[in-house]
């Protein structure tokens, strides 16, 4: 089913990430971590379907998406970055394999944090964040999406790595085998992985070699 919904607000999150608040159709539901396919309701754009993750709480009276805008080519996100409040999107049903299954480690690269935002916000609201940790890799401090909120929710269990920046307060290591061997204390817990495909594939392969249970690794297949 498709729904035509208006954009209610647009907020800047980082230098190239925007938050879109849109209308929520009556009865629309999703599970934290799920995504949908959005299109821009304009000629030549209505059939361009791109997947985006819900980042709001499930009981919010609106829907929220936190989207990285790529201006290096004239694609959907570039055009999304040009939209204004009142413009319309085409919303479709929720789908996705990423959902919370129990305490563990969230491993994200760049915009791969987005499926985890709604999960972590829901756990925070429910007082159930204990036992979870986040490892979030970005190029620089300026690229970290919702850094302050993540730190507020997770405290010392929010770990940021910035791989293309010297100085600052964050780690600069890649999230690779050496990193995981050093930082993971319990490979029997759940692992939630999202980011660029090469990163996800490498981490899943590495976790398996380090003894993680394949059934406990959650990612978008």
Whole-angstrom distance, CA of residue 168 vs CA of residue 182: 21
Tokens of 76: 């959907």
Whole-angstrom distance, CA of residue 56 vs CA of residue 33: 10
- Say whether pLDDT at 183 is over 90: yes
User: Hey, how many other C-beta atoms are within 10 angstroms of the C-beta on 29?
Assistant: 10
pLDDT tens track for 45-96: 999 999 999 999 999 999 999 999 999 888 999 999 999 999 999 999 999 9
- Say whether pLDDT at 221 is over 90: no
Q: Which of the following CATH numbers is that of domain 3-91: 3.40.50.720, 3.20.20.140, 2.60.40.10, 2.40.30.10?
A: 2.40.30.10
- Say whether pLDDT at 113 is over 90: yes
131: left (phi over 0), alpha (psi -120 to 50) or beta: left
pLDDT tens track for 15-36: 999 999 999 999 999 999 999 9
Residue 67 exposure: Cα atoms within 13 Å on the Cβ side: 29
Q: How much is the pLDDT for 169? A: 84
- Name the DSSP class of 22: E
Q: How much is the pLDDT for 74? A: 87
Domain ranges for the chain, please list them.
Answer: 3-91, 104-218
Assign domain 104-218 to its CATH architecture: 3-Layer(aba) Sandwich (3.40)
The neighbouring-strand residues paired with 107 are: 135, 193
Give the angle subtended at the CA of 70 by the CAs of 67 and 72, to the nearest 5°: 175
Q: If DSSP codes are grouped into helix, strand and coil, which group holds residue 200?
A: helix
Whole-angstrom distance, CA of residue 12 vs CA of residue 19: 6
- Name the DSSP class of 75: S
Whole-angstrom distance, CA of residue 143 vs CA of residue 165: 11
- Say whether pLDDT at 190 is over 90: yes
């Amino acid at each position: 089913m498709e729904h035509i919904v208006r954009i209610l607000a647009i907020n800047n999150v980082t230098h190239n990430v925007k938050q879109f608040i849109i209308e929520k159709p009556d009865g629309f539901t999703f599970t934290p971590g799920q995504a949908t396919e959005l299109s821009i309701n304009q000629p030549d754009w209505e059939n361009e379907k791109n997947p985006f993750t819900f980042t709001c709480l499930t009981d919010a009276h609106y829907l929220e998406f936190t989207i990285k805008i790529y201006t290096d080519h004239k694609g959907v996100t570039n055009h999304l970055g040009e939209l204004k409040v009142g413009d319309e999107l085409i919303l479709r049903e929720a789908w996705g394999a990423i959902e919370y299954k129990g305490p563990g480690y969230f491993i994200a690269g760049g915009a791969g944090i987005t499926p985890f935002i709604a999960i972590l916000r829901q756990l925070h609201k429910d007082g159930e964040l204990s036992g979870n940790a986040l490892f979030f890799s970005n190029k620089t401090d300026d690229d970290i999406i919702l850094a302050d909120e993540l730190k507020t929710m997770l405290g010392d269990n929010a770990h940021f790595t910035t791989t293309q920046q010297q100085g600052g307060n964050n780690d600069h290591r890649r999230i690779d085998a050496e990193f995981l061997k050093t930082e993971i204390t319990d490979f029997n817990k759940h692992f939630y992985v999202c980011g660029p495909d090469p990163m996800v594939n490498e981490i899943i392969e590495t976790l398996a070699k380090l003894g993680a249970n394949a059934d406990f690794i959650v990612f978008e297949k």
